[in-house]
Amino acid sequence: MEKRKVARGIVFFKDQVLLLHRIRKEGNKYLEYYAIPGGGIENLETKEEACIREVKEETSIDVKINLYLGMEEYDRGIAYYYLTDYISGEVSLGGEEKEQNNPDNFYEIAFIKIADLDKIMIYGLGGEMIKKAYKIYQKANN
């Protein structure tokens, strides 16, 4: 079976990173974590195009690719991580995340301070990728 490929975009607003807060029911318990905006790469779409599209769909903002950060392979898929630069738009939940939002499959936009990253559960290698991206972001914006 071919692994699902996804692209994720890390977006900073000063000392905060834009994430999706998730709470979803799995069996009789709820899982709570944060995820970097992103999703599946569609046919004939580049990883970069998917990243830009998915960030727009999930958060309603426009971004551009700044830098490829690396990838993560796991049981069911492969995730490609990008540092992105905010271009325009007002951050708000959109796309399937907004449509499918309910108490058993909850999504919300979250701005998390970089200093608080270690206090939350971030899906996959997201936390490591955010820290790596933030060092690059800081150098470029100081």
For residues 53 and 38, give the distance between their C-alpha atoms in angstroms, rounded to a whole number.
8
For residue 124, the model assigns a pLDDT of 87
For 84-97, what is the mean pLDDT?
96
Per residue in 106-139, pLDDT (tens digit) is 999 999 999 999 999 998 899 999 999 999 999 9
Respond yes or no: is residue 96 known to be catalytic.
Answer: no
| Band (142; pLDDT cuts 50, 70, 90) | confident
Lowest average pLDDT, out of 7-11, 37-41, 122-126, goes to 122-126
Beta bridge partners of 113: 16
Per residue in 43-83, pLDDT (tens digit) is 999 999 999 999 999 999 999 999 999 999 998 899 999 99
Alpha helices in 1-142 (DSSP H): 47-59, 95-99, 126-140
Please name which of 86, 138, 114, 136 lies closest in space to residue 15, comparing C-alpha atoms: 114
Catalytic residue of the set 57, 99, 108, 128: 99
Q: Which two tokens stand for residue 60?
A: 């309603």
Count of Cβ atoms closer than 10 Å to residue 87 Cβ: 11
Supply the pTM of this predicted model. Answer: 0.94
| Domains of the chain, each with CATH number or no CATH | 4-140 (3.90.79.10)
For residue 1, the model assigns a pLDDT of 76
Q: Which two tokens stand for residue 9?
A: 């975009």
